[in-house]
Amino acid sequence: MNTLSVRTLFFGVYAELASSREGVAEMPSGSTVGDLVDTLRGSRGLDWLPERVVVAVNQSYAEIGTQLADGDEVALIPPVAGG
Amino acid sequence: MTADGAGEVAVETAITTESLDGTEVFRTLGSHADGAVLIFQGRVRQTNEGRAVSSLGYEAYGEMANSELRAICHEAAQKFEIGAISSAHRVGELALGEVSIVVAVSAPHRDQCYDASRWVIEEVKARLPIWKHEHYVDGESHWVGAPDSNLAPERSSPEPEIR
């Protein structure tokens, strides 16, 4: 089966809870943002990821159904608090 | 600073660790067509939700934060009749009273300045990928907006065995 590899980024409280700021995830070709989130949530130490997590792909906010491509940068965005 | 034009509106944005307390850079904002200049500054407040704050740490998803801030300013340039807009957000550790964000707008008339400035700061609060780590006088700290009551992992529970 063909796979794709994406870089995952964690910020703020997510980085704290994950004890990590970034990682790499291998997914089957054709996977979506939602598939990646489900996979992450099922992995050790990330089961706390909220039901409706906000995600950015390559530095733009992305829908849960967005298809991933090899080499994408996928950031999990905690509730923002700028200003 | 990232500078470019939205039509004829000059747009300038930055995400920076440098102090934003000076406003000198905004002296030349816009053109002589603009009779109004409005500078909004957000500062670190000494209390939040009843707790005494000692300092703040701002973390940003750097590149995305700047492109999102630029997008917000460009949208403002489309929505409002303004001459120029410049906005910068500070990141890193800030003391009480330090400026965390500046939104500077110039326009022919004051109404558009006030409307655009208000719109931009609300969009920033809703969209900019920046997080605020509040440090309290009592020694505790908290990520603002983090629903950690139902997020907190039970770190004491044993890890499942992997077969």
Q: What domains, with CATH codes, occur in chain A?
A: 3-77 (3.10.20.30)
Neighbours of A37 (CB within 10 A): 20
Closest CA to B128 of A25, A11, A18: A11
pLDDT at residue B4 in the model:
62
Task: Assign a CATH topology to domain B2-143.
Answer: Aldehyde Oxidoreductase; domain 3 (3.90.1170)
Which amino acid, residue B86? S
Q: Which of B64, B131, B146 sits opposite A56 (nearest CB)?
A: B64
Mean pLDDT, residues B140-162: 59
pLDDT tens figures, B127-138 = 999 999 999 999
Residues 6+ apart with CB under 8 A from B79: B116, B119
Distance from CA of B9 to the nearest CA of A (A): 23
Nearest to A56 among B126, B129, B159 (CB): B129
Domain boundaries, chain B: 2-143
Range A12-35 average pLDDT: 95
